[in-house]
Chains A and B, each alone.
Chain A
Amino acid sequence: MNRDDRLPLAGITILDLTRVWAGPLATRMLGDLGADVIKIEATWSRGPRTVPEVDVRVSGRYPGNEAGERPWNREGMFNKLNRSKRSLTLQLDLPEGKAILERLVPLADVVIENYTPRVMPQLGFGYERLRELNPGIVYVSMPGYGWNGPSRDFAALGTTLEPEAGLSSLMGYEDTGPYKSGVAWADPVAAMHGAAAVLMGIIDREADPERRGQAIELAQLEGMICFIGSEILASQQPNQPPPPRGNRHAHFAPQGCYPCAGDERWIAITVTGDAEWQALANAAGLDPALAALTLTERVRRHAELDQHIAVWTRTHERDALEASLQRLGIAACAANDAKDLVEHPQLAARAFFAEIDHPDAGKHPFPGLPIRLSETPARYRRPAPGLGQHNREILGGLLGLDESAIAALEARGVIAEEPPA
């Protein structure tokens, strides 16, 4: 028995046309869980053959800040997002590229892409065509705005969708306008929805006696809005106070991010009840009158309490403070930076980071899949593929092309293992 048979999604083949972050993260989750993800890439998709040294240095995403011999296979974010996949280069703007995709679709279970809605029909692979080629295909389309509506063809990125979906209006300091998250938050949110949509499509097909597939429309803007549903509902009630600013909570107090001893060391604390407040106030040596404040009074005197807490936290080492406050039953956590995460004792205890060895990029720890299945756990079977690494395996093995046919595709620039010059 093939070892992969133990993986929960073994036997599911996904043709992955997605790019950048949202789509590739969705298919990486599915690949970690055992799906055979064939990443279909344009030969130029990973950028040119050489990367300017300044870009290597500024990005910080190349191992040891060196572009190396094959920089297109060394970029860390690509390698993080594309493990557990195979790479097939394919120029879909060329007839030979289209012909190969036409032969792959009948062998696949899923086609997923994150283009605007006009691209797939332009390439000749709208859903009607995909269904002709394979009635069982589960097609997941994840554009920014959906298949219809006035903004249908608008360009979008995670950094525009989070503000557009209303989240940024709920963020910001007391004296400023809106803020964005530190990551392009709408992207991983769309990734989760993309992975769920694929699985829903598979379940429905397997339950259907005729094994029919379907087209699933994932408008990234709408999925992002689902993540602030409670706030959307609350905003429509009469006499609502404006959303809290800064680091305040809508009804708990105090809540804040407080400085600790050292440079850029911070601790985040939410006091969720009177008992927790009394414990915190006592630990901080505050006046007993302050320790006795009710929630209503704590809300009213929040700024003053923040000052008292900050004076105290500033004299304490962050991690020791986190431990001692947690011992008192208080929700207090360090505001960790990248190094803290990589070295974090809880993540280490659960082996969250996976050491993955890549032939062109070396061995590095990458975040794992945070879905822990007791009987059929995920596995990181392969590092991110080199550009076109599996061209021969897929074209020869799966489609039965002989070496001369593959060489002809190479000569025409339909496939490649290096970016075009």
Chain B
Amino acid sequence: MKSYSDLLVVEFAGAASGAYAARLFAGFGAHVVKVEPPEGDATRWTGPAAGGSTAEFEYLNTGKSSLAVDTASATGRDLAARLCAKADVIIESFSPGPPAPLPDSVTAGPNVVRLRISPFGLDGPYSNYRSTPFTDFAVAGHMFLTGEPDRTPLQGAPGQSLYAAGTHAYIGALTALIAREHTGRGQDVDISHFEVMASLHQWTTTRYTHGGVIQTRAGNRYGSLHPSTLYECSDGWVAFAAVGNEPLSRFLALVGMESILEDERFDSGGKRFANADAFDAILGPWMLQRTVAEVVALAQAVRAPVAPVNDLRALLADAHLAARGFWERPEGTADPTLFPGPPFRMSTHGWRLTPAPAIGDGGRDWLGLDPVDANLLHDAGLLRYDA
């Protein structure tokens, strides 16, 4: 089987989901060329800047090179096709809206794995509908569950559908590369934000199809058991999930409050959920008098799952992550910005974190062009790079 580090991935991604799938390939050491228009990918400019371009662009495009051509022109398409002919994986994602059709003459090949990522999928009545991560969160049923029961449904953290769809596309590509070993052929992989997000519920549709229950919002409480919630402490918040009787009784015994569980309103997770306001009226004030660090240390001493609710500043200063060397700076830059490390760690792969490419940086090396031809294309505005 072809070595992972010899794979060539070509990305035509106007949307973050495709860029993130390609970024996973690049991070683990495959060759990734991002094909962007001569004026640059739109995500270079939209949003708060980090270094030369936006934080989103810098994060999603580390480890890649760039080929800047206009795929609306015949010459641009020829150049893209020349690159695609060498590709193992081609990634198309455009959002909002379905993938802008690149002609098969550019992207199709018998051995290529073609990822096609779109908001709603390549067919069906919604295939031309537009979406953003915000509307993805809504349409797939997550927003309805998030927030207070008597208030407006609430969005999740930004961009989650894009990362989830991108990671599913990556899984699909790896699967198709394995299948290629026994079929001898590539194939297309159709990934939609909607289906990905709809597949990631815990028991939402199951409770409906089995018990006829339509789950609603429960604030920071959860499901049908308590306490799995956030509590406010003297200096911040904790996520408290000692939901079963055992970890909860160990924790309450440690802090001298074990008598709570003798109250018949509180002697099971389900009853505590039904009487959660009364339960929190006892535990809540106790929490307010302790620091986050105290509560976490007490709980983890008896193996109760309790963690600090970190803001991003606290996260960047977290001792555990620092000890593990999770935060990294891109190689060869003076920029002090810290990036997250890999989502998992392998002994066969480092984590490539070279800075996101400048427009046209490095990608044309894959075209095998005569330097004179490259210059002509460059001067004609058909191939952009810093000469």
Contacts and interface: CB of A to CB of B under 8 A. Distances in A.
A218 B177 CA distance: 22
Q: Name, among A187, A259, A338, the residue most crowded by chain B CB atoms within 10 Å (CB to CB).
A: A338
B207 A338 contact: yes
A230 B158 contact: yes
A222 B179 CA distance: 29
B274 to A, nearest CB: 8
Interface in A175-230: 177-185, 187-189, 192-193, 195-197, 199-204, 206-207, 214-219, 221-223, 225-230
B334 interface: no
Interface in B260-277: 268, 270, 273-274
A203 B178 contact: yes
A266 B152 contact: yes
A346 B120 contact: yes
A232 B174 contact: no
B298 interface: no
Interface string A149-192: 11100111101111111111111110001111111110111001
Interface string B199-216: 111111111111111111
Interface in B148-169: 148, 151-160, 163-164, 167-169
B183 to A, nearest CB: 6
A30 to B, nearest CB: 9
Interface string A5-20: 1001110000000000
Q: Majority SS of interface residues in chain A? A: mixed
Interface string B312-345: 1111100111011010000000001111111111
A250 B158 contact: yes
Contact of A217 (B168, B178, B345): B345
Classify chain A's interface size. Answer: 35 or more
A368 interface: yes
A335 B176 CA distance: 33
Interface string B297-318: 0001001111111111111100
A150 B174 contact: no
Contact of A61 (B147, B207, B273, B345): B207
Q: Name, among B168, B175, B214, B230, the residue most crowded by chain A CB atoms within 10 Å (CB to CB).
A: B175
Nearest to A62: B210
Contact of A342 (B167, B194, B205, B320): B205
A346 B130 contact: no
A221 B148 CA distance: 26
Contacts, number: 502
Classify chain B's interface size. Answer: 35 or more
Interface in B48-85: 48-50, 55-56, 58-60
B172 interface: yes
Contact of B159 (A184, A217, A230, A264): A230
A161 B216 CA distance: 22
A272 B206 CA distance: 34
B264 to A, nearest CB: 13
B211 A169 contact: no
Contacts of A331: 96, 130-132, 134-135
B143 A364 contact: no
Contact of B222 (A172, A184, A237, A255): A184
Q: Name, among A240, A251, A367, the residue most crowded by chain B CB atoms within 10 Å (CB to CB).
A: A367
B28 A207 contact: no
B171 A192 contact: yes
B178 to A, nearest CB: 6
A179 B146 contact: yes
Interface in A248-271: 249-252, 255-257, 259, 264, 266-270
A214 B209 CA distance: 41
A60 B207 contact: yes
Contacts of A185: 156, 160, 200
Contacts of B218: 182
Given A237-B50, A326-B130, A231 B312 contact: yes
Contact of A257 (B125, B132, B138, B343): B138
Contact of B187 (A222, A226, A326, A373): A373
Contacts of A168: 157, 230, 237, 239, 309
Given A155-B303, A257-B152, A266-B153, A237 B49 contact: yes
Contact of A76 (B179, B203, B222, B338): B203
Nearest to A341: B141
A149 B323 contact: yes
A247 interface: yes
A270 B214 CA distance: 26
B41 interface: no
Contacts of B171: 29, 192, 195-196, 199, 371
B107 interface: no
B279 interface: no
Given A61-B211, A76-B207, A200 B190 contact: no
B89 interface: no
Interface stretch (B1-9, B32-40, B377-385): B1-9
Given A150-B323, A182-B144, A268-B135, A216 B230 contact: no
Interface stretch (A51-59, A91-99, A401-409): A51-59
A196 B340 contact: no
A180 B190 CA distance: 30
Given A222-B340, A367-B198, A376 B179 contact: yes
A370 B196 contact: yes
Given A33-B175, A217-B344, A350 B3 contact: no
B172 A338 contact: no
B144 A215 contact: no
A60 B306 CA distance: 27
Contacts of A188: 164, 200
8 contacts: A58-B274, A65-B211, A159-B222, A180-B220, A199-B171, A266-B138, A337-B215, A346-B124
The list of the 7 closest CB pairs from A to B, nearest first, reads A182-B145, A60-B211, A268-B138, A60-B213, A8-B179, A370-B195, A333-B139
Given A60-B211, A163-B310, A342-B209, 4 more contacts: A162-B239, A166-B312, A204-B349, A347-B195
Interface of A: 5, 8-10, 21, 29, 33, 54-55, 57-65, 76-77, 80, 140, 145-146, 148-151, 154-157, 159-173, 177-185, 187-189, 192-193, 195-197, 199-204, 206-207, 214-219, 221-223, 225-237, 240, 246-247, 249-252, 255-257, 259, 264, 266-270, 272, 326, 329-342, 345-347, 349-350, 352-353, 364-376
